[in-house]
Amino acid sequence: MFVGNLNFRTTKDQLTQLLSAAGSILGVHLPTDRETGRPRGFAFVEFSSEAEAAEAIRLFNDHDVDGRKLRLNPADDRPPRADGFRPDRPP
């Protein structure tokens, strides 16, 4: 799932702890800017089932974390671009 509107201070551990209330988390990817190393303000979270991801959306969409309201949406299943870039895969 896509988690947007993250505060730049929000950590992977914070997201994992919060969202695990909805189910078993298989992984969290918090992309960073390649030049600055700072978080980009969004994350991808993989749950063990679609039902758990849906529960996370129900529980935590618009939930306040570090002064920002989270935006949770199912992540797009996009095919890789011609240049090989995969937005859903860490570099």
Global confidence as pTM? 0.80
Spell out the long-range contacts of 66-71 with Cβ–Cβ below 8 A and sequence spacing 24 or more. Answer: 66/6, 66/7, 66/9, 66/10, 66/14, 67/7, 68/5, 68/6, 68/7, 68/10, 69/5, 70/3, 70/4, 70/5, 70/6, 71/2, 71/3, 71/4, 71/5
Mean pLDDT of 51-71: 97
Domains and CATH numbers, the chain: 1-43 (3.30.70.330)
Higher pLDDT, 10 or 88: 10
pLDDT in tens, 65-90: 999 999 999 987 654 555 555 555 55
